[in-house]
């Protein structure tokens, strides 16, 4: 399991400061949701946890270890994004194996991990198909499978369901929640959807203009909002 500490992280693009000394402590095994309107800095914060973006200042720690200068590959993270860029010419099995092959994981281990992830996500019948032969929901499941095979203890999700229709989104939400319970690892999940945040999170970080306005349980965020913005954004009762 990995606890994540974000310590006064600052990120600017020219004159625009996107993350304003953001600090956040995510406990091991937590399902933390970063919730906020478009443009508030959610993806930038997630990218900084993954090491995909350089910081102006601040630190990222995993289980107390400073990983700020680690490359993304050295951080052992599973990542799932909104656009599930599967390789169109590869089968599902090849898509799921590819990253492990690049990392020179032994072949038997790759087979075992793909089998494990496929079973967990119930995609075994799809392993020999090409992405073009899959529905949107199935593709998103493969994208999750591709992250799972890394056997990471931290998974990052950036709006993974926003390309799906409403019915599928609700189904996948339940699956992701179950997955978190089965794996017992840390999830950090970005969304602008209040309902998604409320149903998934153990704790919600409500972001606004590069600042975390509140980090608390869904119940607390809803019933005891820390600011007018939080109350307004999550639709708290007046
Ligand atoms: P969110 O994921 O909450 O929608 P982002 O983290 O993607 O927000 O973006 C936060 C702000 O940073 C936005 O105003 C966006 O336009 C700006 N931004 C993001 N990436 C870049 C970039 N590469 N260059 C310049 N501005 C960027
Ligand atoms: Mg984003």
pLDDT, tens digit, 9 for 90 and up, residues 171-230: 899 999 999 999 999 999 999 999 999 999 999 999 999 999 999 999 999 999 999 999
The mean pLDDT value of the chain amounts to: 94
pLDDT at 238: 81
> What is the pLDDT averaged over residues 131-143?
91
Is residue 164 predicted with pLDDT exceeding 90? no
Contact indicator for 21, 7 with CB cutoff of 8 Å: no
Residue 107: pLDDT band with limits 50, 70, 90 = very high
> What is the dihedral angle through the alpha carbons of 188, 66, 70, 16, rounded to the nearest 10 degrees?
70
ipTM strictly over 0.95? yes
> What is the dihedral angle through the alpha carbons of 16, 24, 7, 2, rounded to the nearest 10 degrees?
-130
Best mutation site among 12, 14, 42, 44 for ligand 1, i.e. most ligand atoms within 8 A of its Cβ? 44
pLDDT tens digits along 66-97: 999 999 989 989 999 877 789 999 999 999 99
pLDDT at 1: 65
Query: Which ligand approaches the C-alpha of residue 158 most closely?
Result: 2
Residue 118: pLDDT band with limits 50, 70, 90 = very high
Alpha-carbon distances of 120 from 47, 134, 159, 183, rounded to whole Å: 27, 18, 21, 10
Q: Which residues of 138-167 are buried (b: 16+ CB within 10 A; e: fewer)?
A: bbbbbbbbbbbbbebbbbbbbbbbeebeee
pLDDT at 81: 84
pLDDT at 137: 87
What span, in angstroms and rounded, lies between the C-alpha atoms of 79 and 10? 22
Residue 54: pLDDT band with limits 50, 70, 90 = confident
For residue 64, the CA-to-ligand 1 centroid distance in Å is: 28
For residue 162, the CA-to-ligand 1 centroid distance in Å is: 17
């Amino acid at each position: 399991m990995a606890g994540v500490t974000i310590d006064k992280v600052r990120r600017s693009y020219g004159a625009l400061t996107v993350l304003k000394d953001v600090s956040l402590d995510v406990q091991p095994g937590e399902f933390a949701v970063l919730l906020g309107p478009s443009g508030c800095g959610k993806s930038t914060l997630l990218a900084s946890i993954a090491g995909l973006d350089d910081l102006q200042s601040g630190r990222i720690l995993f289980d107390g270890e400073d990983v700020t200068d680690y490359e993304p590959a050295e951080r052992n993270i599973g990542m799932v994004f909104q656009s599930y860029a599967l390789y169109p010419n590869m089968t599902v099995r090849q898509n799921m194996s590819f990253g492990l092959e690049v990392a020179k994981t032994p072949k038997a281990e790759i087979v075992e991990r793909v089998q494990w992830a496929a079973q967990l996500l119930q995609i075994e019948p799809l392993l020999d198909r090409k992405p073009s032969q899959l529905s949107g929901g199935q593709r998103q499941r493969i994208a999750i499978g591709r992250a799972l095979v890394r056997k990471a203890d931290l998974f990052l999700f950036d709006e993974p369901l926003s390309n799906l229709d409403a019915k599928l989104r609700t189904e996948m939400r339940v699956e992701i929640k179950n997955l978190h319970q089965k794996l017992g690892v840390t999830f950090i999940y970005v969304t602008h959807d209040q309902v998604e945040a409320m149903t998934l999170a153990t704790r919600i970080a409500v972001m606004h203009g590069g600042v975390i306005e509140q980090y608390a349980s869904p119940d607390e965020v809803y019933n005891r909002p820390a600011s007018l913005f939080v109350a307004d954004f999550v639709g708290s009762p007046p």
